[in-house]
Every structure is written in structure tokens, then in C-alpha cells.
Amino acid sequence: MLSLTHFLVVFATLWGTLGLPATSDNSQFHPKSGLNLAAKSARKLYLGTATNSDQWNDTTYFNILKDNAEFGQVTPANVMKWFAIEPEEGVFTFQDGDIIADFTKKTGKLLRGHNCVWYNQLPEWFVNGTFSAPDLAFIVSRHCFNLVNHYKGHVWDVINEAFNDDGTYRSDIFFNTLNTTYIPLALYAARAADPKAKLYINDFNIEGIGAKSTALKNLIKQLQADGVPIDGVGLQSHFEVGGVPPTLQQNIEEFVALGLEVAITELDVRFTSLPPDAAGIAQQKKDYETVIDACNAVEKCVGVTLWDFTDKYSWIPGTFAGQGDACPWDEKFVKKPAYAGIIEAFRTRVH
């Protein structure tokens, strides 16, 4: 039998060999905190962020991004859009997208493909072209197939922003030439490229119950009746402070009731005037909590993605003049109360 003295000698030897601390500081044994860890503790698949690889030279930014405790998923903000992937007709360039895809492989993060068909950020040859309906149908199918086929095994925003706020279809080159047929064309092509991919329709101002979200639900019912593949809905969730719709959870439940999964895909909560006051900062924290609470409450709400995590690289100031401070980290990478709000909201599911 091992004597106490012998045990203590062996234990002390192992302690030193393993490099474990000789002091009373046992902080390394405490669980690490972070947004993604909090999300997974609440039984969500991830909390993630959008990113652009040209920001990665900022070492502070990159060190936060690559930390899997903070982020378990990445959405390329721009480099998988049509202008970057097919800059010339029939010529596909995946180099920039591959940088982010390779990063997710190395770090073990999930990748969300964004996006296949969108009316914006199209290449000049497409914008300036004149296409018959059969020609455009071929172009849409080819683009979606090649893009999803190159990045197999991921979730895809196949259709992005197809509706106006009143629930009518957006007038763009796709709808004006092909009517609504471009939607099943894109979804069928994506499914043919990767039978295992999760295929989403993604949009803004569909977070609450209203004309736009109802139009999308009707589209989904028709797609399902026609046998068109559709797996999920992405709620972009670009909110103003104090503007999270009170029907968010109910709306998520209604999408899930159609047999779909739901993701919060582009979350930020912006101030419409700057600088914010203390009441506004507290409201922003509450708004982030409200979004997380709604997702927490519905099992098939699978995860949450921020539309970048720091105000330093937020898209808001460049689009909405005089507005901003929308992210959980400020421009100097200091965590705001909104960060704590996300953590606290996820923890309500755990407990």
C-alpha cells in the first residue's frame, strides 16, 4: 500500500513536472468567461461576429477575434459577396474568402457564408449588363452553385434582403427579370452544391411581427409546398437603442413553427445621437439582454452573431451619419455594459 509520505513525494513530483503553480493562486482552474462560452452554456451553438480580414493587422482586434471563449463563429462581412467572388462574368476568385475560411478551420470556429444573392455590392459587369430571363437564371444558378460548392459544410445566407418593409418584393435586377423564381433557383443550386448545407433567407426589419415578416412567412410556406429546400431564417437585428420589437420572441416562435431554425445574424444596437448619456447606455445593455433573452427562450434559435464587435470597425457611422456606438466593445476595445448584458442574459438560461 502506498504510504502517505510516498504519495506526497509522488504528488509533489507530478506537480512540478506538469508545471502547475506552487503558490496558492489557483486562478487557472476557474472557468474562463466570454460571450461564446456563455452562449454554449445556455445550449446555443455559438456567439459569433462578422469580420473583415483587412482588420486583422490590428493585433488587439485579432487577439479578441481568435479567442474561442469570445467567438465561436465568424461571418465574412464582405469577401463572399458577389463583387468579390465573381468580379468578371464566369470568373470566380475565392482567395479573400479562403483567408477567413482557413482561419475558421485553424481556430475551430463555425463559418457562416454570406451571401449568395443580394441586390447590393454587385460587380460592374452585372450591374451594367442586360440579361434575358434564361440568361439571368443560368447566371444566378451558376454563381450560387460555385460559391456554396467551394465552401462546403457551412450555413449560408442564400437570399439576402428580398423584401421591402411593406412586405412587397424589392424591385431589383433579380425580381424585375425573373419575378420570384430567382429565389427557388438560388436555393436549388445551393442544395445541389452541398446537400448538407443549411440554407437561410436573411433580412432586416423582420425581427418583429409585421407586414415584412408575414410576407417572408408566406414565402416560406410556398417554398415548402413546392418542395424547395429552406432550412432557416436569419434575423439581421440592426436595432436603434430602445427599438427592439416587443414581439421578437413570438416572431421567432412563429418561424420555428414552420419547421425552420432561426439565427440572429447581424446584431448591433446603435445610438441615433452621440455621445450617449447614462440612461442610453443602460438602455443599450437592456436591449442586448432582450435580444438574447428572446433567442434563449426558443430552442431552435441556434445562435447570435454580432455585426462586428467593436465600434472601431462598425459599419454604422459610414451609413447613418451622426449615429453609432452600436457594439459591445468601444473604439478602444473597452467592454461596455452591453457586453455584461449579453453574459447575464445567457446565464439566465443556465440557472
Among all residues, which ones are annotated catalytic? 161, 266
- Gap between the Cα atoms of 337 and 49, Å rounded: 18
Contacts of 99 (CB under 8 A, 6+ apart): 53, 79
Tally of helices (H runs) and strands (E runs) in the chain: 14, 9
Contacts of 316 (CB under 8 A, 6+ apart): 268, 270, 323, 324, 326
Count of beta carbons in the 10 Å neighbourhood of residue 128: 8
- Gap between the Cα atoms of 56 and 54, Å rounded: 6
- Gap between the Cα atoms of 316 and 219, Å rounded: 30
The three cell numbers of residue 188 are 436549388
Angle at 114 between CA 113 and CA 117, to 5 degrees: 120
Report the sign of the C-alpha dihedral through residues 174, 175, 179, 182, in that order.
positive
CB distance 233 to 257 below 8 Å: no
The three cell numbers of residue 288 are 442586448
Residue 76: exposed, middle, or buried by beta-carbon count in 10 A (0-12, 13-18, 19+)?
buried
DSSP assigned state of 58: S
- Gap between the Cα atoms of 345 and 42, Å rounded: 9
Which helix (H) or strand (E) element contains residue 134?
helix 133-150
- Gap between the Cα atoms of 61 and 312, Å rounded: 9
